[in-house]
Amino acid sequence: MRIDREGAAPADNPFRDQAGARPDIWSLGHRNIQGAALHPATGELWTNEHGPKGGDELNRTLGGRNYGWPVVTYGVEYSGAKVSDLTEAPGMESPVHYWVPSIGTSGLAFYTADRIPQWAGNVFVGGLAAKELVRLELPDGRVVHEERVFKGTLGKRVRTVVTGPDGALYLLTDERAGEILRVVPAE
């Protein structure tokens, strides 16, 4: 869904003038979006979503596009039954990146500060199931490298990821006694 500050569908929404369609629909075929961020250079919407058992996705979410759920997926039902035999189909967008097994995607943020120059323009995805932070290098809109930050050592569900005004990366954990964690380079 895409609405303006007053709650109305913007004039350039892709289905606004289509008979029988809701004017506020931006894109279709999503299963369970968990994180969203605007690309700092292009302004495009990027989202991540939970697959079923496996098949979490990172998508460049363009207006009017169909992202395939449940016709295409990399995951299976929690029982192990197939959702679909297809991982791609004509007229449906493939994810920019996907995770099998599932990381349990959550918060999504582009690193937009100068404090950690090697992270400039990278996208960060929180992992609820994996209890990790995932860093993706994304030149030209495609993933060329994935790093599991704190692999096996964080031990906390990462719910939200943001770049702070001080240039640090901040994580909010999703625990009974949740924490805000500040990530900076080692000195």
39-68 pLDDT, tens digit per residue, is 999 999 999 999 999 999 999 999 999 999
The Cα-based distances of 72 to 7, 60, 84, 88 in angstroms read: 32, 16, 6, 6
151-163 pLDDT, tens digit per residue, is 889 999 999 999 9
CATH (one of 3.40.50.720, 3.40.50.970, 2.60.120.10, 2.120.10.30) for 33-183 = 2.120.10.30
The pTM assigned to this predicted structure is: 0.94
* Mean pLDDT of the residues in the chain: 95
Across 65-83, average pLDDT? 96
Residue type, 140: D
Q: Report the alpha-carbon distance of residue 65 to residue 78 in Å, rounded.
A: 27
Is residue 78 within 8 Å of residue 53, measured between CB atoms? yes
Is residue 99 within 8 Å of residue 143, measured between CB atoms? no
Residue 97's contacts (CB-CB under 8 Å, 6 or more residues apart) are: 57, 58, 136, 143, 146
Across 124-144, average pLDDT? 95
Percent of the chain whose pLDDT exceeds 70? 100
pLDDT number for residue 151: 85
